[in-house]
Amino acid sequence: MPEDRPLTGNMRPDGEALDRAAYERVGGYKGLRKALGGMTPAAVIDEVKASNLRGRGGAGFSTGLKWSFVPATAPHPRYVVANGDEMEPGTFKDRLLVERDPHQLVEGMILAGYATGSDTGYIFLRGEYKLGARRVARALAEAYEAGYLGKDILHSGYSFEIHLHLSAGRYMCGEETGMLNALEGKRANPRAKPPFPPVSGLFGMPTTINNVETLCNVPHIIRNGAAWFQGLSRSKDGGTKLYGASGKVKRPGLWELPMGTTIREILEEHAGGMRDGVRFRGLLPGGASTDFLVEEHLDTPMDFSEVQKAGSRMGTGTMIILDDQTCPVGMVSNLEHFFAQESCGWCTPCWSGLGWVERILKGMEEGRGQPGDLEKLAFQTRFWAPGHTFCALAPGAAEPLQSALKYFRAEFEQHINEKRCPWK
Amino acid sequence: MNMATVYVDNRAYEMDEKQNLLEGCLRLGMDLPYFCWHPAMGSVGACRQCAVKQFRDEKDERGRIVMACMTPAAAGTRISIRDPEAVEFRKAVIEGLMLNHPHDCPVCDEGGECHLQDMTVMTGHDYRRYTFEKRTFRNQYLGPFLNHEMNRCIQCYRCVRFYREYAGGNDLNAFALRNIVFFGRDRDGVLENEFAGNLVEVCPTGVFTDATLKRHYTRKWDMEMAPSVCVHCGLGCNITAAGRYGTLRRLVNRYNGEVNGYFLCDRGRFGYEFVNSERRIRQPLIEGKAVSAEAALARLGELTSGRVIGVGSPRATLESNFALRAMVGADRFFAGISGTEARLLKLMLEVLRGPARTPSLREIEASDAVFILGEDVTNVAPRMALSLRQSVRQQPMEIAERLHIPVWMDHAVREAVQEKKGPLFTASVSATRLDDIAAGTYRGAPDDLARLGFAVAHALNSEAPAPAGLPESARDFVKEAAEALKAAKRPLIVSGASLASAAIIEAAANVAWALAGSMLAFTATESNSMGLAMMEAPALDAAQAAHADTIIILENDLFRRLPEAEQFLERFRHVVVVDYLENATTAKAELVLPAAPFAEADGTLVNSEGRAQRFFQALPPPAPVKESWRWLGSWDKLDDIVEALARAIPPLAAVTRAAPPASFRMSGAKVPRQPHRYSGRTAMLANISVHEPKPPADPDSPLAFSMEGNPDQPPGALQPFFWTPGWNSIQAVNKFQEEIAGPLRGGDPGVRILEAGEGTPRFFEDIPAAFEPRAEEWLVVPLHHIFGSEELSRHAPAVSQLAPPPYIALNPEDAARFGDEAEMLGQRFPLKRLAELPRGVAGVPAGVPPFAGLEFPMWSRILQAP
């Protein structure tokens, strides 16, 4: 394994998935053997805590800390859920992981299950990831066959089952409590917190939910130790990160790089810079629900705290690049249309506000912008502040809009004043 | 209750720390708008309307917006309702809700009593900034009770929460998402749940409105309203009856914390239209011809000069029954029910005077293990079934408590509890609508159900006799039910007389007595069954033997009581009937006196709990119609007859306290039946005379047929409607309660006149033999129907649409030899195959002609239809 790219360094160049034997050859399931062979669950949690692994779904919460929230006395069955409902626009990192190295996820889940004393795991996978689903299913079968899953794993006395569940397909299914409802066969509406999932989660039982990429890091941390993992990073947050870029760059793609690699490096070295004839205008650093950053932020290291300081969130770490040939209002309109469409319809600020914002932006694009529209848009972004709404969907939708109003205000005004989209 | 000091806008208040901030604020009389929270259904945090600013401590000036309904009223909490950001936020929520609302208040039936209107005004949202097209929906046909207008919807989710989570329905759902969530059925069709009518009140705006009201629509502010009591079963749910221009326009729920709480059943809500029926008797009739009141009274005088007997009624008030009894003499007064029914009622009454307490519906809701023996509760005493449905949530609530989830945090509780249910066991002749929540069900013929009950009693207490040879199939049920009851803190036994089996009632009594502290609830089929039983009059079979020339029948169709009513009536030279609807008995009468039905009458009913409740006229009876007790006696006012009957019949002594007397005044004034916004008073009869008529006098109650009077809150029994400034909808009830969802201020209406006795009764010993099917005969039992079995609501057009036609039901194996029809009692009927009905037992719809009036259970031949 190329030491600096634990997540992707072992992937086959031909695009096929690593099977169990290949995965084992590069050190696969050694972490699991190590944990079951002598580490207590608490020791596994401590190792993960010490590694500074932070949640890769976007919120960046300490994984080890999250695992410690399931009390030792909590009732059974307890669940681990891998959130693979990768619906965030512009994000395709978990797809790579499930398609190319599914055993890495399986091992990570078993370790999470062992650490939290869980009995059953669910992989909640985006429904469109059909190839990934086939490969995960195969990996699960292989893991059962080899005794990594099922009763009395590796004769340790620990038992753990994993089920694969394909999402019926809504953005809300990726919100962790909406996902629990979806798994239970209910509308994917979010749940009130507290109680948090470690107390009352799937089927009312203690539940630990982690993103696919987060879980994929765990086998390496256990095998190689927290210090090694921290050492991979250029920042306080441990490990590597799958960074991506889409938009009019020369080489859109996905790269595993040290945590804290700067935006400029990702954009210019790995994505090859902007295509000829187009100029960089801004970017969403980690999916549609993050604030725009612009030229002045290009030297920001991509980690959870530095991007926050710059006024956005690292989110999923997969950037969407805006160029000068693309209408920023049109881009925001498209994003807000997505969010409006995906609102579950539960809380008023979200379902009503997004529908309104969607129409205002569409109107602007079609030359029907009105004086006062910008105030209405700005008002809605404040209306969607975290805590005002039931879950993070609308606050996420506020981020590209509020930052676009800040950085591209002139373009919005131009739409209203000229009653047309200057890019059309 | 543990009180916590909570600061609201820098003033200290005491709130119940077990409640949330919204409940706390509302209890203190503050105006804080809300939609998705419901006092009986708790909080889910969807609408975001009750936002307030919460501060960490006195120094925190920034604060953060929180939802009052989702925040516990913990000690030291500091919030602001008036904070500008909170005010702006609440206004923005209304603005959001109103984006797509059609603003069709002038043509909306909810207008003037719409919670959405009230909250819009309360938040101050008054200018529309949304300039785009509104979303529109296609509405559905949902049956005869409800209209559907989805464009008005504000997506508060109350309807589906009530319908699915509270009432157990599954054919109403939330479809789609974003700002186009559709609340309806997967296709047009009659809503299946028996409590769907509550959506009229649960919906904060006009999506679900009363389809019966629409046919004779009147605004709330134009209605004359009175506190009334439902007459369509024995539970005595409290209702507000509302009328105008002499017709009854609609009923709504009248909150009584101990009885119906916030909800009614659909028979109770929509059965009222019998009052407006074409078949109403509005004139005295002699030989079928209308005559004056004077002529009628003269004839009554002649007919009662000789030997007279009186036949009372379980659907007539205590007062009317007593008036007849006083007129003919106690020894010549008969109860107007069959001998079987009278014996069963007497038995139930005696049992309830034993050590097991008869619970209110509130107590039923709080019971934590239930054994239903022989009753199809949903179809006999429907509102009780809704309470029983909540009872199975009691035990699993401990899971939520363990996880420190407050009981009001409704969805968090449901997510923690999942499908776990407390124990509820049902034993019945066929499937019931509570089977879906039952931990165990058992089917059997009436005698086998009784045997099962005796076995449960024996399992609880070996001194109770055991049936011999209980089938294997029953043993697990008996063991599980007994264990569940024994382990419970508030066990409840539910039974009744619906299958006409004394053994079932005795078995239920044994179960309750075998387990100290059990509650025992009996259903009663009619509004005053229990009151009539307390009058201890002999039944109709005794009347068969009485010698008399004249029989006076009070509010009773004997063709629904006796198989041979015709022969019975022929024994009397003169038949006098006092009633309000034409029926087979009035058709046989020489003299018919037009009685006032509940909406036009005052009187007292005793419900199955043993609670005496008074109802009052919503409309003055159109002369010469008057209350039966007025026709039959010479009491000037209600209080006189109430006092007389309380003196004459000791078990009824306390009924004088059912409501304040007519002399009751608040600040010297009466309680107005008309709301403060009553309009058109001077105009409504101006096409007849420009002189405003003098309001009718009401010597019987402290209520006035007027908008003049004291606007303050009267005692609960006199509360004509719930309405306070700013709260025009029925949600105003918050302002009338001591506690949110607790008793009305000054106590809930009614007086309990039946309390458990001391001492240990002897267990009933008479265990029937196991049921033996017969070769050519079937044991015919009545199957009750919420719509169709009850006499009066059959005359309400909306209810009658849902009433079943007559049928015979058989077990499919028994039915194998028949086709689609079979013959019984010389008539052909459609044959229904009921898989759960025991073999050898036939079911026929109770109260549906020609089966009304048959003596059950009976053995009958069933033949191949020719």
B96–A370: do the CB atoms touch at under 8 Å?
no
Please state, in angstroms and rounded to a whole number, the distance separating the CA atoms of residues B108 and B349: 48
- Is the model's pLDDT at A1 over the cut of 60? no
Same domain, B351 and B334: no
Q: Which residue of B has its CA nearest to A207?
A: B416
A200–B157: do the CB atoms touch at under 8 Å?
no
Question: How many degrees, rounded to 5, is the angle at CA B651 between CA B648 and CA B657?
Answer: 85
Q: What is the pLDDT of residue B46?
A: 98
What does the buried/exposed string (b/e) look like for A248-257 if buried means 16 or more CB atoms within 10 Å of the residue's CB?
bbeebebbbb
Q: What is the CATH number of the domain that holds B74?
A: 3.10.20.740
**Set of chain A residues whose Cβ sits within 8 Å of the Cβ of B176:** 345
Please state, in angstroms and rounded to a whole number, the distance separating the CA atoms of residues A412 and A69: 46
Please state, in angstroms and rounded to a whole number, the distance separating the CA atoms of residues B540 and B564: 11
Nearest Cβ partner of A390 from B46, B92, B415? B46
Question: How many degrees, rounded to 5, is the angle at CA B417 between CA B413 and CA B420?
Answer: 145
β-bridge mates for residue B781, sequence order: B843
Structure tokens at B94: 């209304």
Average pLDDT of chain A to the nearest whole number: 97
Please state, in angstroms and rounded to a whole number, the distance separating the CA atoms of residues B814 and B818: 8
Domain boundary among B463, B491, B524: B524
Q: What is the pLDDT of residue B689?
A: 87
Nearest Cβ partner of A346 from B46, B92, B412? B46
Mean per-residue pLDDT, B774-784: 96
Q: What is the pLDDT of residue B473?
A: 86
Do B382 and B267 contact (CB within 8 A), yes or no? yes
- Is the model's pLDDT at A2 over the cut of 80? no
Domain membership of residue B46 (yes or no) is yes
Do A99 and A125 contact (CB within 8 A), yes or no? no
Q: What is the pLDDT of residue B519?
A: 98
Q: Which residue of A has its CA nearest to B89?
A: A383
Interface test with B, best of A181, A346, A384, A393 (most B CBs within 10 A): A346
Domain boundary among B608, B632, B648: B648
Interface test with B, best of A207, A352, A366 (most B CBs within 10 A): A352
Residue written as token pair 């960046």: A60
- Sign of the Cα torsion B14, B16, B21, B25 reads negative
Residue A50, burial from CB neighbour count under 10 angstroms (0-12, 13-18, 19+): middle
pTM of the model: 0.97
Q: What is the CATH number of the domain that holds B505?
A: 3.40.228
What DSSP string runs through B357-389?
BPPPHHHHHH-SEEEEES--HHHHSHHHHHHHH
Same domain, B410 and B468: yes
Domain membership of residue B747 (yes or no) is no
- Pairing type for strands B671-672 and B821-824 reads unpaired
Please state, in angstroms and rounded to a whole number, the distance separating the CA atoms of residues A216 and A18: 14
Touching check for A363 and chain B: CB below 8 Å?
yes
Using beta carbons and an 8 Å cutoff, which residues of B are at the interface with A?
A: 44-49, 51, 64-66, 70, 89, 92-93, 96-97, 99-100, 129-132, 135, 154-155, 157, 174, 176-181, 399, 403-405, 409, 411-412, 415-418
CA distance A194 to chain B (A): 8
Q: What is the pLDDT of residue A102?
A: 98
What DSSP string runs through A120-176?
EEEEEE-TT-HHHHHHHHHHHHHHHHTTSSBSSGGGSS--BEEEEEE--S-GGGGSH
Tell me the per-residue pLDDT of B403-413, one tens digit each, with 9 for 90 and over: 999 999 999 99
Other CB atoms within 10 A of residue B592 CB: 27
CA distance A355 to chain B (A): 7
Same domain, B384 and B475: yes
**pLDDT bracket for residue A272 (50, 70, 90):** very high
What values do phi and psi take at B414, rounded to 5? -65, -35
- Is the model's pLDDT at A286 over the cut of 90? yes
Q: Which residue of A has its CA nearest to B158?
A: A346
Please state, in angstroms and rounded to a whole number, the distance separating the CA atoms of residues A350 and A356: 10
- Pairing type for strands B285-286 and B289-290 reads antiparallel
Tell me the per-residue pLDDT of B218-239, one tens digit each, with 9 for 90 and over: 999 999 999 999 999 999 999 9
Q: What is the pLDDT of residue B544?
A: 86
Same domain, B607 and B625: yes
The region of weakest confidence among A167-171, B22-26, B807-811 is A167-171
Do B661 and B639 contact (CB within 8 A), yes or no? yes
Nearest Cβ partner of B131 from A347, A370, A379? A370
Same domain, B431 and B354: yes
What DSSP string runs through B162-205?
IIIIIT---S-EEES-GGG-EEE-SSS-----TTGGGHHHHSSS
What does the buried/exposed string (b/e) look like for B111-139 if buried means 16 or more CB atoms within 10 Å of the residue's CB?
bbbbbbbbbbebbebeeeebeeeeeebee
A348–B47: do the CB atoms touch at under 8 Å?
yes
A354–B89: do the CB atoms touch at under 8 Å?
no
Touching check for A75 and chain B: CB below 8 Å?
no
Sequence-distant (6+) residues with CB within 8 A of B181 are A345, A351, B153, B155, B174, B175
**Set of chain A residues whose Cβ sits within 8 Å of the Cβ of B36:** none
Tell me the per-residue pLDDT of B70-120, one tens digit each, with 9 for 90 and over: 999 999 999 999 999 999 999 999 999 999 999 999 999 999 999 999 999
Other CB atoms within 10 A of residue B60 CB: 12
Do B632 and B640 contact (CB within 8 A), yes or no? no
Please state, in angstroms and rounded to a whole number, the distance separating the CA atoms of residues A420 and A356: 19
CA distance A389 to chain B (A): 7
Q: What is the CATH number of the domain that holds B644?
A: 3.40.50.740
Please state, in angstroms and rounded to a whole number, the distance separating the CA atoms of residues B411 and B408: 9
Touching check for A237 and chain B: CB below 8 Å?
no
Nearest Cβ partner of B177 from A180, A343, A349? A343
Same domain, B377 and B432: yes
B93–A349: do the CB atoms touch at under 8 Å?
yes
Amino acid at A144: Y
Task: Give the helix/strand (H/E) hosting B117.
Answer: helix B115-123
- DSSP secondary-structure letter at B674? S
Sequence-distant (6+) residues with CB within 8 A of B386 are B166, B167, B195, B263, B265
In chain B, how many H helices and how many E strands?
26, 36
Q: What is the pLDDT of residue B215?
A: 95
Domain boundary among B98, B132, B150: B98
Q: Which residue of B has its CA nearest to A337?
A: B178
- Pairing type for strands B208-210 and B308-311 reads unpaired
A with B: how many residue pairs have Cβ under 8 Å apart? 112
Q: What is the pLDDT of residue B664?
A: 97
**pLDDT bracket for residue B686 (50, 70, 90):** confident
Tell me the per-residue pLDDT of B166-179, one tens digit each, with 9 for 90 and over: 999 999 999 999 99
Crossing angle of helices A409-418 and A393-407, in 10° steps, is: 80
Tell me the per-residue pLDDT of B278-295, one tens digit each, with 9 for 90 and over: 999 999 999 999 999 999
Domains and CATH numbers, chain A: 20-231 (3.40.50.11540), 240-323 (3.10.20.600), 328-418 (1.20.1440.230)
A355–B99: do the CB atoms touch at under 8 Å?
yes
Same domain, B516 and B589: no
- DSSP secondary-structure letter at B703? E
β-bridge mates for residue B373, sequence order: B427
Structure tokens at A237: 């947050």
Radius of gyration of chain B (CA): 28
Touching check for A194 and chain B: CB below 8 Å?
yes
Amino acid at A137: A
Other CB atoms within 10 A of residue A108 CB: 28
Do B361 and B261 contact (CB within 8 A), yes or no? yes
Same domain, B500 and B596: no
Query: What is the distance between the terminal CA atoms of chain A, rounded to a whole angstrom?
Result: 49
Same domain, B296 and B434: no
- Sign of the Cα torsion B843, B848, B851, B854 reads positive
Domain membership of residue B798 (yes or no) is yes
Q: Which residue of A has its CA nearest to B70?
A: A192
Longest dimension (CA), chain A: 73
Nearest Cβ partner of A344 from B51, B131, B177? B177
Domain membership of residue B722 (yes or no) is no
Listed in order, strand segments (DSSP E) in B438-590 are 440-443, 491-496, 519-523, 550-554, 574-579
Nearest Cβ partner of B66 from A200, A203, A387? A387
**Set of chain A residues whose Cβ sits within 8 Å of the Cβ of B44:** 192
Tell me the per-residue pLDDT of B815-852, one tens digit each, with 9 for 90 and over: 999 999 999 999 999 999 999 999 999 999 999 999 99
Count of alpha carbons within 13 angstroms of residue B25, beta-carbon side: 27
State the total domains in chain B.
4
Amino acid at A302: M
Distances (CA, A) of A244 to A6, A94, A261, A266: 17, 11, 12, 8
Q: Which residue of B has its CA nearest to A363?
A: B132
Touching check for A117 and chain B: CB below 8 Å?
no
**Set of chain A residues whose Cβ sits within 8 Å of the Cβ of B417:** 204
**Set of chain A residues whose Cβ sits within 8 Å of the Cβ of B99:** 352, 355-356
Same domain, B619 and B583: yes
Domain membership of residue B761 (yes or no) is no
Distances (CA, A) of B166 to A102, B493, B605: 44, 22, 29
Touching check for A72 and chain B: CB below 8 Å?
no
Do B267 and B790 contact (CB within 8 A), yes or no? yes
Amino acid at B639: D
Nearest Cβ partner of B415 from A204, A353, A370? A204
B49–A348: do the CB atoms touch at under 8 Å?
yes
State the residue range of the domain holding B372: 346-524
Interface test with B, best of A348, A359, A360, A375 (most B CBs within 10 A): A348
Nearest Cβ partner of A352 from B64, B65, B96? B96
**Set of chain A residues whose Cβ sits within 8 Å of the Cβ of B93:** 348-349
**Set of chain B residues whose Cβ sits within 8 Å of the Cβ of A343:** 177-179
Same domain, B437 and B519: yes
β-bridge mates for residue A345, sequence order: none
B415–A354: do the CB atoms touch at under 8 Å?
no
Going by C-alpha positions, the residue among A196, A293, A220, A208 that lies closest to residue A32 is A220
Q: What is the pLDDT of residue B680?
A: 76
**Set of chain A residues whose Cβ sits within 8 Å of the Cβ of B46:** 346-348, 390
A390–B45: do the CB atoms touch at under 8 Å?
yes
**Set of chain B residues whose Cβ sits within 8 Å of the Cβ of A351:** 155, 177-179, 181
Tell me the per-residue pLDDT of A105-153, one tens digit each, with 9 for 90 and over: 999 999 999 999 999 999 999 999 999 999 999 999 999 999 999 999 9
Tell me the per-residue pLDDT of B627-684, one tens digit each, with 9 for 90 and over: 999 999 999 999 999 999 999 999 999 999 999 999 999 999 999 999 988 877 778 8
Q: What is the pLDDT of residue A421?
A: 97
CA distance A223 to chain B (A): 36
Domain membership of residue B79 (yes or no) is yes
Query: What is the distance between the terminal CA atoms of chain B, rounded to a whole angstrom?
Result: 69
CA distance A346 to chain B (A): 6
**pLDDT bracket for residue A251 (50, 70, 90):** very high
Do B252 and B240 contact (CB within 8 A), yes or no? yes
Domain membership of residue B129 (yes or no) is no
Please state, in angstroms and rounded to a whole number, the distance separating the CA atoms of residues A45 and A256: 24
**Set of chain B residues whose Cβ sits within 8 Å of the Cβ of A385:** 65
- DSSP secondary-structure letter at A266? I
Q: What is the CATH number of the domain that holds B839?
A: 2.40.40.20
What values do phi and psi take at B450, rounded to 5? -60, -45
B178–A187: do the CB atoms touch at under 8 Å?
no
- Sign of the Cα torsion B737, B743, B745, B751 reads positive
Average pLDDT of chain B to the nearest whole number: 96
* Residue B682 C-alpha from the chain's centroid: 36
Amino acid at A57: G
What is the side-by-side strand order in the sheet with B603-606? B603-606, B611-615, B751-752
Tell me the per-residue pLDDT of A343-402, one tens digit each, with 9 for 90 and over: 999 999 999 999 999 999 999 999 999 999 999 999 999 999 999 999 999 999 999 999
Other CB atoms within 10 A of residue B668 CB: 6
CA distance A353 to chain B (A): 6
Task: Give the helix/strand (H/E) hosting A405.
Answer: helix A393-407
B89–A383: do the CB atoms touch at under 8 Å?
yes
Same domain, B358 and B333: no
β-bridge mates for residue B241, sequence order: B226, B251
Please state, in angstroms and rounded to a whole number, the distance separating the CA atoms of residues B180 and B235: 40
Coil, helix or strand at residue A116:
helix
Domain membership of residue B555 (yes or no) is yes
